[in-house]
Amino acid sequence: MVPSKRVYVLLGLGIAIAPILSLFITIPVTIAITLLFDAIVLGLMIVDGLQVRALRVRVKRDLPQRLSIGRDNPVMLTVTSPKVDAVIQIRDYYPTEFGVSTPTLNATIPANSTQELTYTVNPKRRGEFPWGNIQVRQLGNWGLAWHDWQIPYAMPVKVYPDLLGLRSLSIRLTLQSSGSIRQSRRMGIGTEFAELRNYRTGDDLRFIDWKATARRTGGNTPPLVRVLEPEQEQTLIILLDRGRLMTAQVQGLQRFDWGLNATLSLALAGLHRGDRVGVGVFDHQMHTWITPERGQSHLGKLIDCLTPIQPVLLESDYLGAVTNVVQRQTRRALVVVITDLVDVTASTELLAALSRLAPRYLPFCVTLRDPQVDHLAHTFTQDVTAAYSRAVALDLLAQRQVAFAQLKQKGVLVLDAPANQITDQLVERYLQLKARNQL
């Protein structure tokens, strides 16, 4: 039971009136009257608080079975008031590692009605966390006391990669399938033979089948053209670095978590486009290898296998990871390496590894840049300390550009983007590669 503000006001009023009463009656009588008044107020407060016991609201919590890291996940509390209007305060004991939109919920629930109160939590780490009970305070009918109690609702919750983003991407890919993406795929040059047809004005002369044309009878017949369509069963291999560079915090999340979100989104896009998708997670060795498969059901396997993985403070062996892929994947594939670069020297091994992939495979280097470095590099300042920071940031960006230029010279595709924007840009780049049949 917790006194309300009204109780403190009444007790203060009794103390304030006591000096006035002492002008008309004796001091002992004034003290007795004041103590009697305070006792009456406190007694009414206790009765008011006890009355709430029979009028408690009922609270039920609903939250997603799988929480998404770095996202505002909705939590809904359904509150039912049985007999009277209920003025309540609710504090849900969510995990302390989570950010929250509203720590305490305040509401007035009309009698014999149900109301839904919603707030959001934003996890910053993946894993399993304990979610505690629900603390409820309900104001008495006289407004003198808060009846305070806990509703047992402890439960474990699991935080996954960005599943909300995957759901949104899945909807977008479905809508695009019948739109511009399909159109651009038809406009591209295919890789698999479909049929022969008569030559039409504007057809590429390279696709005239002269042998088939020669076998036709009649001298005035038009030449035959081979019609090709994009290959459906291509292979996409994603190599996700979990080494030392991926442990850094970027925009509130570890760089590895941004890379993991991008990995799953790219895998979803690949499966949606009919490709076989495989994933490897590596540090100084290949930590996890998931064999390339097709079908939307494969995405669930990827999520379950990749969610428990955390980055480690170990140097990454790019050459070993690429060698592992070459040994496992003999057919041509798009190999996407998601990592980060520091400078030209540190990128030497990455350059050597990706160079080994070309031209048999199509190597694609994806790096997750820190937006804070961009901000420092492009913010002019007259402060000496800030100027040194800006100079370091500019030097880091310049060395990255040199490293990317070397990668491009070796035939490696490159995408460098802020970590919090990498997912959308990577998926868009992959869809462009599919539309142009570059794989």
Distance CA 370, CA 249 (A): 9
Label residue 347 by pLDDT band (50, 70, 90): confident
Mention every residue, 6+ apart, whose C-beta is less than 8 A from residue 13.
none
What is the third-level CATH fold of 1-160? Immunoglobulin-like (2.60.40)
pLDDT in tens, 89-134: 999 999 999 999 999 999 999 999 999 999 999 999 999 999 999 9
pLDDT in tens, 232-274: 568 999 999 999 999 999 998 999 999 999 999 999 999 998 8
Note the pTM of the prediction, 2 decimals.
0.79
What is the CATH architecture of 163-183+232-436?
3-Layer(aba) Sandwich (3.40)
Ordered by start, the domain boundaries in the chain are: 1-160, 163-183+232-436, 192-229
Distance CA 260, CA 257 (A): 5
Label residue 194 by pLDDT band (50, 70, 90): low
pLDDT at 185: 42
Contact criterion met (CB below 8 Å) for 324 and 353 = no
Mention every residue, 6+ apart, whose C-beta is less than 8 A from residue 360.
332
Q: Is the pLDDT of residue 12 over 70?
A: yes
In 162-219, alpha helices (H): 163-177, 180-187, 210-214
